[in-house]
Chains A and B, each alone.
Chain A
Amino acid sequence: QQQVKQSPQSLIVQKGGISIINCAYENTAFDYFPWYQQFPGKGPALLIAIRPDVSEKKEGRFTISFNKSAKQFSLHIMDSQPGDSATYFCAAYKAAGNKLTFGGGTRVLVKP
């Protein structure tokens, strides 16, 4: 069963625009919600993560917004750059069992 649903599957944004990726989860027992970034031919790399008792976390141009009651969270990439073109995965982490569950991924293309 898919516990983390991610949308959209792909996204095209102009340089300088805002990229928004949304995720929804089903299980309320998750402890952290990280985002991973993957470039073609590479493995994913941790980008930013948020705890469920925090509503927003910002690191540079990347912001996670978290809505616990709706069981949704999103990644905003401000001032998107061509170098941000990658596939982004949201994930949910459960400390008991030490398991990461990934969303299906969003391919972001930033046009110059």
Chain B
Amino acid sequence: NAGVMQNPRHLVRRRGQEARLRCSPMKGHSHVYWYRQLPEEGLKFMVYLQKENIIDESGMPKERFSAEFPKEGPSILRIQQVVRGDSAAYFCASSPEGFPRYEQYFGPGTRLTVT
């Protein structure tokens, strides 16, 4: 059973470009979460999605950031018009149906560098 997959692993974008990060959850997992990790800091929750639904986006910046988890295909975190402050590691996690859901399975992350 493959783990959570994220691609690309490393992404370099110039200021003003768009960054698109992909996450394929573990097989059978219908809950997807995105976190941002700044250097030397902890993980900050961004958004929680189920198939075709955004459940909680309270951690997402109001502008330039969006996320989706379509019926088919991976979850996408999109950052428009990137700025240097967006440079960070972005982790996706997934969890299956059922309890407890504190056990989230994390992908290896996408390290975004904005130049």
Q: How far is the CB of A59 from chain B (nearest CB, A)?
A: 14
A45 at the interface (CB under 8 A from B): yes
User: Chain B contact residues (Cβ within 8 angstroms of A): what range?
Assistant: 20 to 34
Shortest distance in angstroms between B3's beta carbon and chain A's nearest beta carbon?
A: 9
Given contacts A44-B91, A98-B48, A99-B56, contact A89 B43 (CB under 8 A): yes
Chain A residues with CB below 8 A from B100, complex form: 31-32, 49, 93, 95
B102 touching A93, Cβ below 8 Å: yes
* Contact A43–B91 (Cβ < 8 Å): yes
**With A32-B100, A93-B100: A105-B42 Cβ-Cβ less than 8 Å:** yes
In the assembled complex, B41 has its CB within 8 A of some CB on chain A: yes
State whether the Cβ of B25 lies closer than 8 Å to any Cβ in chain A: no
Q: Is the CB of A44 within 8 A of B31?
A: no
The CA of A93 and the CA of B93, in the complex, are separated in Å by: 14
